[in-house]
Amino acid sequence: MAEALLTGAGGFVGRALARALPGSSTLSLGAPDWEARLAAAPLEGRFVFHLAARVHAPDDRDEAGFQRDNVEKTRRLAEEAARRGARRLVFMSSIKAQAEESRGRALRPEDPAEPGDAYGRSKLGAERAAASAGLPLVVVRAPLVMGAGAKGNLESLMALADGAWPLPFAAIANRRSFVHVDDLARLLVACGDHAAAPGRTFIAAHPVSWSTPQLVASLRGALGRPERLFALPPALLESAATALGRGEPMRRLTRSLECDASDAMTVLGWSARIGLDEAARDMARAWREARR
């Protein structure tokens, strides 16, 4: 994999992949001159790993912006890579391209795609744009990605877990999947390397899901704090959060989003190795170091 080119190498997952692929080339698609950079990028004969994206944020509903940054840039990259003889494109998508939650059973790649927001629709559109270029393509959909330096909702939850206040999550009985960033990087490398990967969509997930009380307990344990959980009905939590304009982040804590990664295990021989408690320790260590 010495002939790899990465987009999004400065992001959370991109940094882990860059460590797994030392010596790889990088391409910035977020720079104002991204088109010139794309034209000059060494695509010939390369394995292209496309991780750059406009990331999800609960209050970002700019459909046109997501389409521009995620769909059209992916289309341009895939078409240019195909035209110049790149060997394979591995596209980092999201489970949000498929669904916002799971009902009754874990999601599989072949389940109907029903994205629920602008970000999810743009990631599904980017998958389809990449597929239309004619280059051998592998798509990886990831749920929550844990690890040192994780941002977004995980960082917000870490701040809550590091406080002394009791948290009202004890009655939540949901099931959510996760993957550690280093396990995800290993899967991306396998998707670039394995002969059976092109033409497939894989889900990255640890085989053991967590509930919100388990996650908070694990984070608080890693931070050296007591669990301090009490019970309020999930419906009440959702109603109160919605009234405060925080409905979407709360639904991520109250509802299920469970994924089935068995295809990646069967086809590629990959499996996630890093469990919830180890991931929580990684996050807690980075959290403490950042506040020293």
Residue holding tokens 């882990």? Answer: 16
Reply yes or no on whether the pLDDT at 88 is more than 80.
yes
Which of residues 61 and 251 earns the better pLDDT score? Answer: 251
Amino acid 75: pLDDT: 98
Distances (CA, A) of 175 to 57, 213, 214, 215, 236: 22, 10, 10, 11, 19
User: Rounded CA gap, 199 and 194, in Å?
Assistant: 12
Asked whether residue 16 carries a pLDDT value surpassing 80, the answer given is yes
**pLDDT tens for each residue of 107-124:** 999 999 999 999 999 999
Is the separation of the CB atoms in 26 and 6 below 8 Å?
Answer: yes
Q: Averaged over 184-196, what is the pLDDT?
A: 97
Adjacent-strand bridge partners of 137 = 89
Residue 32, pLDDT > 90, answer: yes
Q: Which of 116-120, 205-209, 253-257 has the lowest mean pLDDT?
A: 116-120
Structural domains in the chain, sorted by start: 4-147+177-207+258-274 (3.40.50.720)
When the pLDDT of each residue in the chain is averaged and rounded to a whole number, the result is 95
| Residue recorded with tokens 């190498």 | 9
Query: At 43, is the pLDDT very low, low, confident or very high (cuts 50, 70, 90)?
Result: very high
pLDDT at residue 70, as a whole number: 97
Average pLDDT for residues 179-202, to the nearest whole number?
A: 98
Confidence of residue 181 (pLDDT cuts 50, 70, 90): very high
Q: What's the whole-number mean pLDDT along residues 82-100?
A: 97
The number of CA neighbours under 13 Å toward the Cβ of 23 is 4
pLDDT of residue 153: 87
Three-state secondary structure of the chain: CCCEEEECCCCHHHHHHHHHCCCCEEECCCCCCHHHHHHHCCCCCCEEEECCCCCCCCCCCCHHHHHHHHHHHHHHHHHHHHHCCCCEEEEECCHHHCCCCCCCCCECCCCCCCCCCHHHHHHHHHHHHHHCCCCCEEEEECCEEECCCCCCHHHHHHHHHCCCCCECECCCCCCECEEEHHHHHHHHHHHHHCCCCCCEEEECCCCCCECHHHHHHHHHHHCCCCCCECECCHHHHHHHHHHCCCHHHHHHHHCCECECCHHHHHHHCCCCCCCHHHHHHHHHHHHHHHCC
Query: Residue 131 has what pLDDT?
Result: 98
What percentage of the chain exceeds 90 in pLDDT?
Answer: 93
Confidence band for 1, pLDDT divided at 50, 70 and 90 = low
